[in-house]
Structure 1
Amino acid sequence: MSLAKDIAACRICADRFAATATRHTPRPVPWFRPSARILIAGQAPGLRVHEAGKPFFDRSGDRLRDWLGLSQEEFYDLNLVACVPAAFCFPGYNAKRADLPPPPICAGTWQDKVMEELPALQLKILVGAYAHRNHLGEKGPLTETVQNWQRHAPGVFVLPHPSWRNTGWLRRNPWFEADLLPELKATIRSVMDQTQSNQQHSS
């Protein structure tokens, strides 16, 4: 069985999810192949992603694809993009309908194994504070981490979460769209052009 199938069959959080306000069953959403060139590292699937079985298949995903300059077809090309969140399942809601955090056991069980299966990565895009901590050890304020994005570029880009709850943050930080996003889109296109060129030479 492949690693992606092992993850899809994982039920280690079944009791945890049954105790949430949503009382849902696990539905891991693994989305990666060893050929992927771009990593999207996020937090955890939301309810719509849980229902659809596709990462970022919601309004946040629409905003993220706009930030990246990728079409839906390009974003969901498993040979190009891998989506590896801190937790592969929707963690559920608490009694106040607020998102619960990703269970640490998920990353502890699967993340290193997944990263070992992605030898072709050329670009890592870290979306939100959980991804910043998991991949960079960054524990400071999110705004400070994203403001210092050039420390990690061009191989790694740090982004806020594309949730519509962060619309106010975007208004308060216009440098994000003016300075960071053009560099990110250019880097993504460079990776895609190089990938296409390599495929043409190998065919």
Structure 2
Amino acid sequence: MSQTNVRVAAYVDGFNLYNGMHDARRRRSLWLNMESLLGSFLGVNQELAVVHYFTALVQGQSRHHQVTYLDALAAHCPITELHVGRFQAKQLQCRNCHHTRTSYEEKESDVSLAVQLVEDAALDVFDHALIVSGDSDMAPAIRSVRRIAPHKRLVAVFPPRRSSVTLKNTVDATLQIYDRVPERHLLPDNVKAVDGTTFNRPSHWR
């Protein structure tokens, strides 16, 4: 008799992962195949059912590269669902000289990840969840899953050079993405979508 596969869902804090990879290896890891990386953490009889990737579109020159990457990820990774939040402008004033400047604050991504995780647990979407983040703000959502679906197994996957004692004490287990590991799981340099559009890895991401 064949054994039923364990359904694994992944929830990726895009900016936490990006900052960890950038700190570790600069831009070498940014053209990342999320499904390949997360699949490498699975055990026997585990199946990656869905990858929820949460991010927001940045301002400035980097936006084009980010959009190209997200388009490539969507084209190449069929079970990856993108959740794109926003940056909200706010004015900051220097207390000494009273000069003001515009800053941008990421909105919605953390909350969206938390809501998706709790909703999927309630709807029995997964047996095991991988939470790719080193942000302790994820802890309340994990505690909620504990209350409504205590049989679910929750694993924190820490990005390079990121960790959280709070998360470690909340989940069933932790995994660490080491500095060079993402470079083994990159998208092809040129990703072609179904409609024929090609998305090319930025030259300075090599």
Q: TM-score, normalised by structure 1?
A: 0.33
Q: Which has the higher contact order (CA 8 A, sep 6+)?
A: 2
Higher helix share: 1
Structure with greater strand percent: 2
| Higher gyration radius (CA) | 2
